[in-house]
Amino acid sequence: MNETIRQSQPAAYAAIDEATRASGFTMASDILTCSLLRTLAASKPGGTFLELGTGTGLSTSWILDGMDADSTLVSIDHDANLLAIAGRFLGGDARLKLVTTDGEQWVMRHLAERYDYVFADTWHGKYLLLDEVLAMVKPGGLYIIDDMLPQPNWPEGHDLKVARLVEELEGRGDLVVTKQAWASGILIAVKR
């Protein structure tokens, strides 16, 4: 076995990838992470999905590809230019709601919502408002984060934040956690 992804990529992925490169966006999720996101998405038929940090929609396209027809995905980002790229290629998917908003504002306005699957790929839901976002995960639901291994774009001191976050997640009695030192460094948790 090796890491080659032999299953077909989401239809929009290559075009989003090209537009992402042209845009100069450098925080894109890597393809291995995206593949895992799709596999995990397929475990929640009829599910409610949340992505915090759409970027240009690369991870979004893989999550959508794993979801069934009855599932829905809310994906938020504060950068309208990035969301415009996601919207250009994925906006026709009725299961997807793209929201241009600040993460804090969105989370604080949707505290009562519950999700089967949360991919937290921005500050909120990782380093900010962690308790609030974890409360949005249904029992049996998935909470997934990446970039837990050192990345070239980390600001000084970010490694300490990562270490604190991982320790906090592992210390929670309501989460069953697995860490994967693979791809950009993944942590998957299931809510008890």
Ligand X SMILES: C[S@@+](CC[C@H](N)C(=O)[O-])C[C@H]1O[C@@H](n2cnc3c(N)ncnc32)[C@H](O)[C@@H]1O
Q: Smallest distance, Å, CB 139 to ligand X?
A: 25
Of 73, 76, 48, residue with least CA distance to 62: 73
User: In terms of C-beta density within 10 A (0-12 exposed, 13-18 middle, 19 or more buried), how is residue 79 classed?
Assistant: middle
For residue 119 the two structure tokens come to 């991919």
- The 154-183 site mask, x for binding ligand X (CB under 6 A), equals ------------------------------
User: Tell me, what DSSP letter sits at residue 1?
Assistant: -
Does residue 30 bind ligand X (CB under 6 A)?
A: no
What CA–CA distance (Å, rounded) separates 11 from 13?
Answer: 6
Q: Smallest distance, Å, CB 52 to ligand X?
A: 7
Which secondary structure element, helix H or strand E, spans residue 48, and what is its range? strand 48-52
Segment lying near ligand X (by CB under 6 A), choices 91-99, 116-124, 163-171, 174-182: 116-124
Q: Smallest distance, Å, CB 192 to ligand X?
A: 26
Does residue 122 bind ligand X (CB under 6 A)?
A: yes
Footprint of ligand X (CB under 6 A)? 27-29, 53, 55-56, 58-59, 77-79, 82, 102-103, 121-123
